[in-house]
Amino acid sequence: MISALHSEWYKLWRRGMVLGVIGTTVGTTCLLTIVIFARASSAAPGATAGQLLSGLSPSLASLSTSVGSVQGLKIAGDFIGLISLVFFAQVIGSEYRDGTLKVLLSHEPRRLQLLAGKLTALAAFVAVAVLAAFAFEVATAVVLAGARGASTDAWWTNDALQNAIGLAARTIAAVIVRGLMGGFLAVLFCAAVPAIGVGLGYTFVADALIVAAWPDGRNWLPHEALVAFAQGGKAQLETGQAGLLIAAYAIVFLVVAGALFRGRDVTT
């Protein structure tokens, strides 16, 4: 597993991967932060932290609360998760498309160790992307807060720092599980394109349709659980419950993908 992890980790640090995954993650998060501060209104001086979390148009007063420094990352979390899904699916699916999987298996015939090494490297790479986005987002927020006259005193309290670190940790976990979904679909279809199509189709279309027909699905579906966990819980699903759910989904993705990867012949 270690050799497979090292091999995959080395391949990931190509310029295209760094710009495509880390660059896009950082750029999107910082752009959302710029939009948030640019649209912030000086009205509603009594705005609370709860009002801040509602969207892209908070008040300057709400941006001065303990959660103001990480609003960009909070909103960008779902998009980063989709980047992770596509990234995992593309990397694993391309091994089937390009025929390189046979070469990899000739060097590491233990299939489960090979898959585990690849997935671990991919998970670590997206974790780096989220941490980079977190660091750049906070730096961007500090600069913009000064430009807009928003106070940052509440950002550096113990509660604020714990909230920021917790958000970053939950985002990393949710992004990795979303990536495992993409990796599972790539192994299932032995290709990247259908895996990405199904993953995005479920996220943007199927999930909403299922919830419309089955309202209790908000408490069980993977997309709903991932969103609730990353956001720190919601009315229908608390953070702890959402965490247990996404852990269960991660185990299912890993077990089924491992069984398929181990048991099927590589024909391409």
Confidence of residue 264 (pLDDT cuts 50, 70, 90): confident
63, containing H or E segment: helix 60-63
239, containing H or E segment: helix 239-263
Name which of 207, 237, 235 is nearest 222 in CA terms.
Answer: 207
Q: Alpha helices of 64-108 — where are they, by DSSP H? A: 71-98, 100-107
For residue 99, the tally of other CB atoms under 10 A from its CB is 12
Cα distances from 143 to residues 38, 66, 86, 151, in angstroms, run 12, 16, 32, 11
Asked if the model's pLDDT at residue 250 lies above 70, the reply is yes
CA gap 68, 73 in Å, rounded: 10
Evaluate whether 185 touches 256 at the Cβ level (below 8 Å).
no
| pLDDT for residue 134 | 97
Give the residues across from 59 on adjacent strands. Answer: 41
Evaluate whether 143 touches 215 at the Cβ level (below 8 Å).
no
Q: Highest-confidence range of 45-49, 118-122, 216-220, 259-263, by mean pLDDT?
A: 118-122
For residue 157, the tally of other CB atoms under 10 A from its CB is 11
Beta carbons within 8 Å of 46's beta carbon, 6+ residues apart: 61
CA gap 64, 154 in Å, rounded: 7
Query: What residue segments make up the domains of the chain, in order of their start?
Result: 2-263
pLDDT tens column, 39-91: 887 654 444 444 444 456 778 888 888 888 899 999 999 999 999 999 999 99
Confidence of residue 97 (pLDDT cuts 50, 70, 90): confident
Beta carbons within 8 Å of 237's beta carbon, 6+ residues apart: 218, 219, 224, 225, 228, 245
Q: Could you report how far apart the first and last alpha carbons of the chain are, in Å? A: 23
Asked if the model's pLDDT at residue 106 lies above 90, the reply is no
What percent of the chain is modeled with pLDDT above 70? 93
128-151 mean pLDDT: 94
Evaluate whether 2 touches 117 at the Cβ level (below 8 Å).
yes
Q: Please state the length of the chain.
A: 268
Six-digit token string for 265: 């012949």
Q: Rounded to 5 degrees, what angle do the CA atoms 51, 56, 58 make?
A: 40
CA gap 175, 139 in Å, rounded: 22
Chain CA centroid to CA 142, Å: 24
Cα distances from 142 to residues 138, 239, 252, 253, in angstroms, run 6, 28, 41, 39
Chain CA centroid to CA 126, Å: 8
> Does the reported pTM lie above 0.85?
yes
CA gap 196, 166 in Å, rounded: 29
